[in-house]
Structure 1
Amino acid sequence: MQLTRMLVLALGITVAQAQTPIHLIPQPVSVQTKSGTYRLTNSTSIQYNQPAGKATADLLAKQLNGPTGFSITPKSGTSGSIQLEINTTPDAKLGDEGYTLNATTKGVRITANKPAGLFYGAQTLTQLLPKEIGSKTAVSTNWTIPAVQITDYPRFGWRGIMLDVSRHFFPKEDVKSFIDQIAALKYNTFHWHLTDDNGWRIEIKSLPKLTSVGAFRVARTGHFGDRADPKPGEPTPYGGFYTQDDIREIVWYAQDRNVTIVPEIDIPGHSMAALAAYPELSCTKQQVSVNPGTNFADWYGNGTFKMKVENTLNPSDENVYVFLDKVFTEVAALFPNPYIHAGGDECYKGYWAQDPGCQALMKKLNIHHVEDLQGYFMGRVEKILAAKGKKFLGWDEILEGGISPTATVMSWRGIKGGIEAAQMGHNVVMTPTTFAYLDYNQGDNSVDPPIYATLRTQTSYNYDPVPDGVDAKYILGGQGNLWTEQIPNLRYAEYMLYPRSWALSEVYWSPKAARNWPDFVTRMENHFDRADVAQINHSKAVYDAIVKTSMNGDKLMLNMAGEIPGLTIYYSTDDTMPDQFSTKYTQPVALPDGPITLRVVTYRAGKPVGHLITLSRDALMKRAGQ
């Protein structure tokens, strides 16, 4: 009887292990589950068949040894219980970044054509392990890997995340952590926004004031965009910059993780930090300060604006191009990738219109519209970059002044610029605000600090980077952009990144046909748990109700929905705190007249989830456009 009981228990454990759910992000091309598991132990070995596999083997061992407490040491060979194999005969379907992963009860074998594929296979392997693999200290658990056969390769070659380090400075170690996190999700491009009005963050040795002056600003707190102007002579303690040695270290760090760094020097607008250091490069030559987050522009509803403080380089001044040649000479030497991003966005041309030098240049060039001066400027910049062996990349405004056929366009103002650029034969990186701006709120504006707009995870997940009617060969891929006006540190950057960066990783990596929102939600919730163990911050706004209002005659109508399956919404308008016994929302309802306050909660599987949303009648009327 005892032996029978032990056999049943053993069989039960085997069945449970064979049915271990697999929750991978991004979703691979093919996943075939099998029976059984492989158990990781201190005697597990990692081997690689070619020297090019060593870097991935070393990183994998580091990822495994920390949380397990093991001391696995990789070595060259062909008989590892975890075997990293670079194909001697390339598998055409895998390309440069694809891999196969075969996990059995005896071990794991990852094959790829190139080291990049091995690296991505290793990232998948860590996701197959229990969530404790993300622990920062050694823990005791059953380190099992479910038996599975995976074939995987990316849909797009450009899979990026942009981090703005100008508006808030992120120290070198934070940048490395950021790279670790995006690489684990199979992003291969780190767009590094290094310069803007709020700080110049890269050392240029031939122009030392760019960092001695341009990297630091006055200390301010409060909502970015509403802060007080700098005072004459006020100290400038806030800021920082990356030395050229820092840059080299980070570039090397990223290369080991198959991440290409694309630096951005944002010109001719967004140059206030540069002008604080070298005001003679502007039209007015007036001294300006590195901006701490003041309201320095009037924005109009149609996307146009007027600067109150000059932040543009002077396109008619030859000294500007001497300056830029120095900058790009040093930048090009630091970054081995083929691209340098030269900005080109939101360039205010009002100072150009009033400048005699710009007017004389327009006459010389037979230019009738001051807007076209930007085309001339960006053309000069592209020639400077070409002389350094670099390709020119810019935001979609670069289309407005005319650009060379070799320029690559990053489409951010919706998808229109990307469509136009592709139809003109330009390569395009799609990163529209409407799907990929990760600084936008993830949930209700009454919960998270308000910013310009809202972008929900489901919206990001449903994005397709190839617009209808566009030849896909011109779409290099896409990226998410994290502007940091209201993001002062890495912890909050994580909160804004996840889960939307999980969603976008699947958009850029996985086959379009494989996308399934309810299935992604299940995997996302598993990654919430994994992120908790890894101490990676994340938002759970997906659990919150989506609250909208409209007018039906003189009646204020309430329309609510859930972002994920299985949410039940309850609400009150009688100054009580809602719970599962309050009014259940099932369909649009007319709200009562009078000075009501709406309170909304969500439940899932009988338990409260998400945030309490509280909205006054005035706030509800505003949502209805009243």
Structure 2
Amino acid sequence: MKWIKLVVVVVASVLISCAEKENPSFTQNDLVLIPQPKSLTLNSGSFKIDAHTQFVIADDSLQVVTGILNDLFEKSAGFKLDISNTGDENTIQLLQNTELEEEAYKLDVTREKVILEANSRLGFVYGLETIRQLLPAAIESSSKVSDLKLYIPNVSIADTPLYPYRGSHLDVSRHFFGKEYIKKHLDRMAFLKLNTFHFHLVDDQGWRIEIKKYPKLTEVGGFRVDQENKPWNARTQNDPENEATYGGFYTQEDIKEIVSYASDKGIRVIPEIEMPAHVMSAIAAYPWLSCKDEPIAVPSGGVWPITDIYCAGKESTFEFLEDVLTEVMELFPDEYIHVGGDEATKTNWETCPHCQQRMREEDLADTGELQSYFMKRMEGFLSEHNKTLIGWDEILEGGLPEKATVMSWRGFQGGWEATKAGHDVIMTPVSYMYFDYYQGNPDNEPVAFNAFLPLEKVYEFRPTIDSMSVEQKKHVLGGQANLWSEYVTTESHSEYMLFPRLFALSETLWSPEEKLDWNAFSQRVRKLMQRFDVMGINYAKSAFAVQPESEINLETGKITIALQSEFPNTQIRFALGDSELNADSEVYSNPISFDSTTSVSAAVFEDGKLMGAKMQKYFDFHEAVAKPVTYKFEYNASYPSTGKTALVDVLRGSKYFKDGRWQGWIGDPAVITIDLEKAKKVREITIGSLEEQGTGIYFPQQIQVEVSQDGKTFEDVAKMERAFESNSEAKIENFKLKFETRKGIQFIRVTVEPLAKTPNGGGAWLFLDEILVN
């Protein structure tokens, strides 16, 4: 009988093995979900999807949400799942559960079936997006994948978001993006369970939405003179008669299509129709909207201060805005309409007879109260149509409209004040939520606004702050990431600025705070990047970039450089001098020290593959290192670098002018004298300089070098002049001045003249990081 028992055991083992092969089990490390669910239990085994699997829905209105998976299956697997109202095994069942909150869902996966429960379309959307992330990355392929195995791990998930407002903002006014890109962005928002798209349709540089009663808004306001070859803030003022060719707009049919598409993905769309400022595009179309009634052109670049704003004294202004908003409200069914309200410079109001008369009639103390009157009047009109006004936190000034919701962007304080007054708030502080900022070292990044917002900083964002009371926190609806497009000119660049930072935002707004852990998130997002590749997202690898921290001991002349990347637990390899950096280079473990001219290159490698950009730093130990330096005109207090020895410390600056390595002057030339402390041969001087025309930093106009043996009598030995050249990006240049070798030289005087006048007529900054003497 022993042999019978043996056969039974063998057969049982074979059956278990076959079942395991047919329905494999997964580990926790296999589950790459962003955002993390509220609770998750992983069980053994999995559910296999094949061409015979069916969707079972109780309500035909849910057919549209099945497209979240069926559209992917059709492309990658070559089949779509049938949809039925009945069925049990080999089914994905969408069941109504009225006990769940509106955005909540429950997901139970077994070998036999998948049960997804929700109380609304939103819940079903989120549950299906979770299933999508549980499936292999290959389902994102745009073409059929051979031998594609579709397994969902056996999990039990109960999930609901932490905040009801989880937003992504795109500015299509500064640079226009087409309808298909907007829909692609909505797909990716749904993938991350973000539920609100803030559509920035109006600004000075472009009016992007068709208004049938006022066709010139798009005919004139939708286009500007093409100055795309110049830096944003260095573009010149346009003449209204100049041909305007750059721009575009969405027809009302386009808007309806976008709104409908978003709705199918569980996303509401909030339009922003700016007022009273950021409206030069509207005034260019209809000059009577302004206080001066004078023709202006749609600007091609930055405008500051913003003085061409709507006239708050004319009744015709309010009639125009009510007409515009009436058409807008018909296109956007959501309760919210964003009206801007920010950055209005009211100098025209102070002299405008219409505005002054309005202030007298309404007993308004100043133009701040006039803006409050303006916003309250618009809020009243929207309320009459069952809409809620949202405005940037400037709408707090002069008094907040009764039912307004505040979007707090200048930090958290505006949100704190609004919640204290009992108003709802959406937090979007610049320091955490402005995705037009650099996310990595500007030396390796596309041009961006000159501030720094790495992935980890986004992950640290929390919409509420400790000083809020319990009642105040109830008024914080959530948060939003803003991508302004002054420097974002293409769809590919837009993706680069959004991802993976938008993944970090999605988790901070959805997942329970006790589950938020940077180390765990960084592991998951690194794995999810494989899915980004299949999805065709042009995501940033900035968090892999090696970040060097260099310091020099001026007494010993020794430099120490420490290396790290933003992602923890990465393998950094480095090479010195002419050695090639590759997957076999030495692994970095401790800071590197040296005291002679060399270069250091480093990068993160994973499984022999280069991740992110290579870092390369060159350290030139020249004759003037750590020598005494005197200045005729002191550097500006805002940009001192490390002080008197900053220009002779070997350490060079990056393209990020706030990195602490640049000394800056404005209004004066840099006249610098270096004491070499003993007589030396000198034949070449190199001056390191930065240019970023968009922020007013320009290369020198002239450089002069003088040498002396005694520090009193100087001889001219070299001079160079440089004509202005338009440059749209940050750039570092080493200006070399060579001359016949001079012996016995102890003192060197360098005079660096800034550009006399910028193209817009202002003063030019001069930035230097090193003077090399050889």
Q: What TM-score do the two structures reach when normalised by structure 1?
A: 0.90
- Is 1:417 the equivalent of 2:434? no
Deviation at 1:137, TM superposition (A): 1.1
Q: Is the 8 A contact 1:570 1:585 kept in 2?
A: no
Partner residue, 1:462 = 460
Partner residue, 2:612 = 610
Partner residue, 2:110 = 104
State the Cα deviation string for residues 120-165 of structure 1 (Å, max 9, x = none): 1111111111101111111121111111111111111111101111
Deviation at 1:622, TM superposition (A): 6.2
More strand as a share of residues: 2
Aligned with 1:268 (options 276, 288, 295): 276
Structure 1's 8 and 390: CA in aligned 2 closer, same or farther, altered over 3 A?
Answer: closer
Once residues 145 and 343 of structure 1 are traced to their aligned partners in structure 2, the CA distance between those partners, rounded to angstroms, is 44
State the Cα deviation string for residues 161-200 of structure 1 (Å, max 9, x = none): 0111111111112111111110111111111101001111
Once residues 594 and 219 of structure 2 are traced to their aligned partners in structure 1, the CA distance between those partners, rounded to angstroms, is 58
State the Cα deviation string for residues 191-249 of structure 1 (Å, max 9, x = none): 11010011111111111110111111222323332334435533222221111121112
State the Cα deviation string for residues 56-108 of structure 1 (Å, max 9, x = none): 124432232221101322122353633333335x22xx310111111111121
Deviation at 1:503, TM superposition (A): 0.8
Q: Is the 8 A contact 1:544 1:602 kept in 2?
A: yes
Secondary structure of residue in 1 paired with 2:128: helix
Deviation at 1:493, TM superposition (A): 1.5
Partner residue, 2:512 = 511
Deviation at 1:618, TM superposition (A): 4.0
Kindly report which structure 2 residues correspond to 1:220-259, keeping only aligned pairs within 5 A, or say none.
Answer: 220-222=227-229, 223-231=231-239, 233-259=241-267
Once residues 63 and 599 of structure 1 are traced to their aligned partners in structure 2, the CA distance between those partners, rounded to angstroms, is 42
- Is 1:29 the equivalent of 2:30? no
Once residues 77 and 607 of structure 2 are traced to their aligned partners in structure 1, the CA distance between those partners, rounded to angstroms, is 34
Q: Is the 8 A contact 1:203 1:242 kept in 2?
A: yes
Partner residue, 1:316 = 313
Aligned with 1:389 (options 386, 389, 399): 386
Structure 1's 572 and 285: CA in aligned 2 closer, same or farther, altered over 3 A?
Answer: farther
Once residues 111 and 399 of structure 1 are traced to their aligned partners in structure 2, the CA distance between those partners, rounded to angstroms, is 42
Partner residue, 2:534 = 533
Once residues 240 and 346 of structure 1 are traced to their aligned partners in structure 2, the CA distance between those partners, rounded to angstroms, is 25
Aligned with 2:151 (options 133, 138, 144): 144
Aligned with 2:214 (options 207, 215, 239): 207
Structure 1's 622 and 315: CA in aligned 2 closer, same or farther, altered over 3 A?
Answer: closer
- Is 1:370 the equivalent of 2:373? no
Deviation at 1:538, TM superposition (A): 0.5
Once residues 484 and 80 of structure 1 are traced to their aligned partners in structure 2, the CA distance between those partners, rounded to angstroms, is 50
Q: Is the 8 A contact 2:419 2:476 kept in 1?
A: yes
Partner residue, 1:623 = 659
- Is 1:281 the equivalent of 2:284? no
More helix as a share of residues: 1
State the Cα deviation string for residues 355-389 of structure 1 (Å, max 9, x = none): 33333433444444333322121112112212222
Partner residue, 1:157 = 164
- Mean alpha-carbon deviation: is it higher for 487-496 or for 260-269? 487-496
Q: Is the 8 A contact 1:215 1:241 kept in 2?
A: yes
Kindly report which structure 2 residues correspond to 1:560-599, keeping only aligned pairs within 5 A, or say none.
Answer: 560-569=563-572, 581=585, 584=588, 586=590, 599=601
Q: Is the 8 A contact 1:25 1:505 kept in 2?
A: yes
Secondary structure of residue in 2 paired with 1:386: helix
Once residues 192 and 567 of structure 1 are traced to their aligned partners in structure 2, the CA distance between those partners, rounded to angstroms, is 38
Aligned-partner residue type, residue 567 of structure 2? I
- Mean alpha-carbon deviation: is it higher for 597-606 or for 191-200? 597-606
Deviation at 1:315, TM superposition (A): 1.2
Q: Is the 8 A contact 1:409 1:426 kept in 2?
A: yes
Q: Is the 8 A contact 1:464 1:507 kept in 2?
A: yes
Over aligned residues, Cα RMSD in angstroms?
2.8
- Mean alpha-carbon deviation: is it higher for 548-557 or for 434-443? 548-557
Once residues 12 and 96 of structure 1 are traced to their aligned partners in structure 2, the CA distance between those partners, rounded to angstroms, is 37
Which structure 2 residue ranges, 5 or more long, are not aligned? 1-9, 619-650, 664-774
- Is 1:498 the equivalent of 2:504? no
Structure 1's 593 and 230: CA in aligned 2 closer, same or farther, altered over 3 A?
Answer: farther
Partner residue, 1:302 = none
- Is 1:73 the equivalent of 2:109? no
Q: Is the 8 A contact 2:165 2:478 kept in 1?
A: yes
Once residues 597 and 268 of structure 1 are traced to their aligned partners in structure 2, the CA distance between those partners, rounded to angstroms, is 54
Q: Is the 8 A contact 2:601 2:614 kept in 1?
A: yes
Secondary structure of residue in 2 paired with 1:467: coil
Once residues 75 and 286 of structure 1 are traced to their aligned partners in structure 2, the CA distance between those partners, rounded to angstroms, is 64
Partner residue, 2:322 = 325
Number of aligned residues: 609
Deviation at 1:603, TM superposition (A): 4.1
- Is 1:85 the equivalent of 2:94? yes
Q: Among the aligned pairs, what percent are the same residue?
A: 37
Q: Is the 8 A contact 2:77 2:144 kept in 1?
A: yes
Partner residue, 2:450 = 452
* Bigger radius of gyration: 2
Once residues 441 and 490 of structure 1 are traced to their aligned partners in structure 2, the CA distance between those partners, rounded to angstroms, is 17
Structure number with the bigger relative contact order (C-alpha 8 A, sep ≥ 6) is 1
Q: Is the 8 A contact 1:414 1:432 kept in 2?
A: yes
Once residues 502 and 52 of structure 2 are traced to their aligned partners in structure 1, the CA distance between those partners, rounded to angstroms, is 36
